[in-house]
């Protein structure tokens, strides 16, 4: 069942209370407000996201509460609301489009739980972005000349270190999590989001201006290596790796979902990854500990990457592309020879490459 399922429309909150605006590059505009007992929580959340005051006229709305009656207006009728339970919050959508959301947070939460609740509270934003063709990615975001480059990799691969090493005119916008949204013209823009693990571990983390987005020029998948090198990826390889990066972020939002709903969301994420891979160039970026990897990135971005400069993948044998579509714990696999991928690029057809049985 989708967010809210088939239901009668619930009562909307129209609050005169102050709040914060969150506008995304796909045209979505959110208004974040809170009941009196959650105002301090929202203020802190907004500072982390770099948000400024909203007008209250935004078409999408999230109301945060610690269980009290938001603004004395009365909860919407219980039946029309669709609860999504989390360990630290309960998210309830008033309609199928998730345009009106009530987010109930635990009372008297310690700091470590507070960060998790803030992380979880982004679920409606990410879900709507995904429904409009976007992807949340476990990726850093770097900007050069007004354009964005995604540096995707699992934790511990070196995204944060790579961001710190970038020289001017490069600007590191995010070092761990990025929300990519699909624009009305069919392009993609990337929004930097916080590194929540910094807060959980007590490290100082700068506020992110999450509303500030840049057009996506390319995505690079990081690998640790002794030599800096860039190799283009075919669309199929890129789609599978994008899917894996998105699933790393989305998994925490899928906790508590009905199995059918989770399967549907996994399929949608993979479909979006395929669309993204068709439209945005993707590369494997092997970076050394002390090299000038950004020069290899710039060669690729500027069209100066020569095929003769590209070395084969370091792993002999076969390149295994896993987790193309996962349904109920089952996954399908595709394999390609572990040789230089340039002579044979695996491009995606106009229909899903893999589907469930």
The average pLDDT across 188-207 equals: 75
Regarding whether 139 and 75 lie in a shared domain, the answer is: no
- What are the backbone dihedrals phi and psi of residue 259, each rounded to the nearest 5 degrees, phi first? -55, -40
Regarding whether 79 and 115 lie in a shared domain, the answer is: yes
Helix orientation angle between 259-279 and 123-131, rounded to the nearest 10 degrees: 60
In this model, does residue 306 exceed pLDDT 80? no
Distance (Å, whole) CA 27 – CA 211: 11
In this model, does residue 163 exceed pLDDT 80? yes
User: Does 194 reside within a domain?
Assistant: yes
In this model, does residue 356 exceed pLDDT 60? no
Tell me the whole-structure pTM to 2 decimals.
Answer: 0.78
| pLDDT for res 123 | 86
**CATH assignment of the domain containing 209:** 3.90.228
DSSP for 283-346 reads EEEEE-SSS-HHHHHHHHHTT---GGGPPPPS--SEEEE--SSEETTEE--EEEESS-SSSS--
Regarding whether 209 and 275 lie in a shared domain, the answer is: yes
- Under DSSP, the state recorded for 145 is T
Regarding whether 254 and 171 lie in a shared domain, the answer is: yes
User: Does 38 reside within a domain?
Assistant: yes
The average pLDDT across 114-123 equals: 79
Domain count, the chain: 2
Query: Backbone dihedral region of 16: left (phi > 0), alpha (psi from -120 to 50 degrees) or beta?
Result: alpha
Regarding whether 267 and 217 lie in a shared domain, the answer is: yes
User: Does 4 reside within a domain?
Assistant: no
Distance (Å, whole) CA 303 – CA 20: 41
CB atoms within 10 A of CB 279: 12
Measured between alpha carbons, how far is residue 214 from residues 132, 191, 282 in Å?
Answer: 18, 7, 17
User: Does 10 reside within a domain?
Assistant: no
The average pLDDT across 114-132 equals: 85
CA 121 to the chain's CA centroid: 13
In this model, does residue 353 exceed pLDDT 80? no
In this model, does residue 351 exceed pLDDT 60? no
Q: What 3-state DSSP class applies to 51?
A: coil
| pLDDT for res 257 | 76
End-to-end CA distance of the chain: 20
Regarding whether 179 and 39 lie in a shared domain, the answer is: no
User: Which of these, 68, 115, 67, lies nearest to 87 by C-alpha position?
Assistant: 115
In this model, does residue 316 exceed pLDDT 50? no
Regarding whether 295 and 153 lie in a shared domain, the answer is: yes
User: Does 356 reside within a domain?
Assistant: no
Regarding whether 233 and 181 lie in a shared domain, the answer is: yes
Distance (Å, whole) CA 131 – CA 244: 18
Angle at 196 between CA 183 and CA 61, to 5 degrees: 50
Angle at 218 between CA 233 and CA 199, to 5 degrees: 110
Q: For residue 105, list its beta bridge partners.
A: 89
The average pLDDT across 186-207 equals: 76
Regarding whether 142 and 291 lie in a shared domain, the answer is: yes
| pLDDT for res 53 | 81
Distance (Å, whole) CA 209 – CA 35: 24
Task: Show the domain range for 35.
Answer: 20-131
User: Does 349 reside within a domain?
Assistant: no
| pLDDT for res 111 | 57
User: Does 155 reside within a domain?
Assistant: yes
The average pLDDT across 284-309 equals: 85
User: Does 141 reside within a domain?
Assistant: yes
Confidence of residue 118 (pLDDT cuts 50, 70, 90): confident
Regarding whether 147 and 69 lie in a shared domain, the answer is: no
Regarding whether 153 and 102 lie in a shared domain, the answer is: no
């Amino acid at each position: 069942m989708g967010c809210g399922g088939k239901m009668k429309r619930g009562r909307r909150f129209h609050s005169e209370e102050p709040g914060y605006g969150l506008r995304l590059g796909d045209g979505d505009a959110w208004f974040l407000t809170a009941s009196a007992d959650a105002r301090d929580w929202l203020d802190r959340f907004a500072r982390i996201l770099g948000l400024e005051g909203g007008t209250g006229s935004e078409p999408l709305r999230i109301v945060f509460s610690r269980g009290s009656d938001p603004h004395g207006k009365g909860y919407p009728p219980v039946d029309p609301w669709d609860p999504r339970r989390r360990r630290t919050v309960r998210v309830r959508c008033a309609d199928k489009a998730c345009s009106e959301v009530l987010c109930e947070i635990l009372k008297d939460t310690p700091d470590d739980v507070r960060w998790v609740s803030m992380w979880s509270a982004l679920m409606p934003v990410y879900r709507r972005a995904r429904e409009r063709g976007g992807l949340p990615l476990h990726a850093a975001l770097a900007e050069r000349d007004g354009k964005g480059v995604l540096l995707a990799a699992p934790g511990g691969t070196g995204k944060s270190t790579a961001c710190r090493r970038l020289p001017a005119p490069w600007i590191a916008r995010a070092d761990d999590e990025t929300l990519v949204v699909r624009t009305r013209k069919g392009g993609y823009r990337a929004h930097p989001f916080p590194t929540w693990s910094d807060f959980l571990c007590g490290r100082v983390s700068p506020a992110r201006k999450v509303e500030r987005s840049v057009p996506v020029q390319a995505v690079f998948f990081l690998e640790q290596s002794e030599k800096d090198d860039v190799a283009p990826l075919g669309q199929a390889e890129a789609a599978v790796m994008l899917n894996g990066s998105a699933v790393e972020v989305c998994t925490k939002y899928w906790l508590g979902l009905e199995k059918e709903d989770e399967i549907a969301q996994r399929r949608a994420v993979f479909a979006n990854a395929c669309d993204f891979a068709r439209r945005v160039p993707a590369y494997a970026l092997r970076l050394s500990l002390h090299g000038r990897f950004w020069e290899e990135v710039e060669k690729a971005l500027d069209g100066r990457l020569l095929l003769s400069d590209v070395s084969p993948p370091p792993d002999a044998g076969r390149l295994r592309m896993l987790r193309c579509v996962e349904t109920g714990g089952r996954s399908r696999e595709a394999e390609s020879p572990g040789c230089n991928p340039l002579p044979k690029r695996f491009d995606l057809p106009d229909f899903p490459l893999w589907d469930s049985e």
